[in-house]
Amino acid sequence: MELKPACVFDCFAQVNKVPRPSKKEERMIEFLQNYGRQLGLETLTDDCGNVLIRKSATPGMENRKTVILQSHMDMVCEKNRDVDFDFTKDAIQTEVDGEWMRAKGTTLGADDGIGVAIQMAILAADDIEHGPIECVFTRDEETGLTGAFAMQPGFMKGDMLLNLDSEDEGQIYVSCAGGVDTTAVFHCTQQPAPEGYFFFELKVNGLTGGHSGDDINKKRANANKVLARFLYNSMQKYDLHIADIQTGGLRNAIPREAIALCAVPMKDKENIRVDWNIFAADVEEEYSVTEPNVKFHLQSADAAATVIDRDTTRRLIIALQAVHNGVLAMCQDIDLVETSSNLASVRLQDGNKITVVTSQRSSVMSARRHMSNTIKAAFELAGAEVTVGEGYPGWKMNPKSEILRIAVDTYKELFNKEPRVLGIHAGLECGLFSEKYPGLDMISFGPTLRGVHSPDERLLIPTVQMVWDHILAILKKIPTKE
């Protein structure tokens, strides 16, 4: 399939050559700085590493309001276990599959690299009409909204902002959820492994995963919860020990894989295998529609030298079984998730602590606090040390938004259909911008992405042209300054 607009996909190819893991965006910052300077444009970088490139208006449009085009420069770095790839060094390898672009066994980085590419193409273009433009590239959006948190008022000068970090073409977002991380730590001791026990590795993989906000209502399985269910059942029947547990991944991704090294008395070896097979069949039936590729593995393992102490093992398993995961409440006025929680990862670290990371989201601040307290209480009852992060705010809809009216009108003119105006159950940097720039008029939109935050991430190619045409139409319609 031909990649159109070529100017955008050429820029996207350049972006994907630059390693840009969250919190390690130094090479991307340098790349963007050089890009702006090579174009002869004013290029600024704040103390955090956010980059801003200004482009003057085309002749006759100097008195229009200034539009900010904004995306984040970092990407979620997830890969399939059998793929040899170093996100700190290697270029993303892309391929076209029909109308979709994807990467070879890794995240594609279209979240939000395609937004970066659109901005780059607009900065380089000499054949489009626009008023004054600021292109802003924030860092570390995915693991803490660090760039947006650190940005000082006055860095951006514009009047209207187009956030290019949404994932459904034809949908314009005008509000978002706030979020917070809740982390539990179980301190444990290592004990000599019991003799005469069968050691085995349990693995759940092949799950769909996805974004822990946008996909949380799609009834996808959470690998951590699936594994916890089996461990809880087994603990009731057998003298179960855990030697290691490594599950899940990033806090904002629905876990696709969970692994634990366990042991039971040798006399229960066959029973545990039978239980696992029955359990696997039950879960496959439960998720027959949303998780057609789920895989369950139980294989013999060499005996470990030590295991986690019995008391911590019991408290951990009970907590993982009990803690809420998924949607808690839907919005009362629109069909949108209001409040949710994601059990993101469980990791034995340094042999003496088990860290459990969870993430809560809500468009209602009091409900977000309630959800976080619910998670905190469950872990506190299990004897864990619990910390709650600073969190980030939601973004409330502006019913008098001028940029929204322009975006809706131009969309209808271009495509002869109405766009959907929505809120999103995910964190957008607009929430933080609304605090630092209270008068800033904002919307968020972008081309269609699927499977974000997972190696299944893919970009629907034809929608990039649609978004490009839409942005150019919006830029032509920006009103003059009062």
Q: Give the active site residues.
A: 74, 141
Sign of CA dihedral 282, 342, 375, 355: positive
Two structure tokens written together for 54 = 């200004």
Two structure tokens written together for 167 = 């994932």
User: Closest by alpha carbon to 360, among 334, 323, 396?
Assistant: 323
Distance CA 242, CA 199 (A): 9
Q: Which residues of 403-424 are buried (b: 16+ CB within 10 A; e: fewer)?
A: bbebbbebbeeeeeeebebbbb
φ, ψ of residue 70 in degrees (nearest 5): -135, 135
∠ CA 380-385-389 to the nearest 5 degrees?
Answer: 100
User: Closest by alpha carbon to 481, among 62, 157, 63?
Assistant: 63
Tell me, rounded to whole angstroms, the distance of Cα 301 from its chain centroid. 34
Q: Cβ distance 449 to 459 under 8 Å? A: yes
Q: How far apart are the first and last CA of the chain?
A: 45
- Tell me whether the omega of the peptide bond preceding residue 112 falls within 30 degrees of 0, making it cis: yes
Q: How far is CA 268 from CA 97, 233, 276, 393, in A?
A: 47, 14, 12, 50
- Helices and strands per DSSP (H, E), number in the chain: 11, 23
User: Closest by alpha carbon to 209, among 20, 78, 21, 73?
Assistant: 78
Q: Which helix (H) or strand (E) holds 370?
A: helix 365-381
